[in-house]
Structure 1
Amino acid sequence: MKRIYLLLLLVSGFAFANNTHPLELKQNDPKIGDVLVINSTSNIKYNHIDFPQLNIIVKKGNVANYKSVHGKRVVIKEVVNHESGHTKVLLGNEDNTKFFGVVKHVEANYSKALSSGEMSKVNP
């Protein structure tokens, strides 16, 4: 009889432990005003953050590389949830300057950019 109670307690413990996952997803949703950091990538370009192309940066008179945004703190200005399930965010510099002296805001796929390491959250 003790084995049945122990087994029942163990099974119910696993069942309730599995229910915490949806709460975790709600806490990770982006909010306007959240601060993120743009990390350096092993690739030449960013795949999930829509920075201007390097030739556009050169035409505006700046150096053709993305090193100026490595470690840059950005703020979420707008959040757009698409029907397909992914979330796009509009990012602006924390100090309200332009990226590469060209664009004021850039768009990024929030979940893919975080999971690939292109950007990371700043803990308050």
Structure 2
Amino acid sequence: MRKTVASALEVCPVEVAVAVLGGAWKLTIVKQLLEGTRRFGELGRLVGPVNPRVLTRQLRELEADGIVSRTVYAEVPPRVEYSLTELGGSVAPAVAWLDEWGAEYAESAATLERTTD
């Protein structure tokens, strides 16, 4: 278990969730993997303007926490695929809720901004 997650266990379950899924791009990565297995380059394009080093670090942390599975195929050139584990798939309702809430918030914020201009 990563030190960050172990420390969060001492606080509360919300902190555990934030330790595992918080951070740059993690929820977006999970959202994309909910739609199916992806290769690294494809994930990078789908996630957005993410630095490859950051994407690699986030994927490694998600893998260490049991959310993402990494499969390496012995081919030339090497092929690496990422998918969600069963545990990773269990966050689908939370990701869907956050996606919906984020869209509603963005709409509300845009409306508020227009009315204050």
If each structure's strand is expressed as a fraction of its own residues, which one has the higher value?
Answer: 1
Higher relative CO (Cα under 8 Å, sequence separation at least 6) belongs to 1
TM-score by length of 2: 0.26
Larger Rg: 1
TM-score by length of 1: 0.25
If each structure's helix is expressed as a fraction of its own residues, which one has the higher value?
Answer: 2
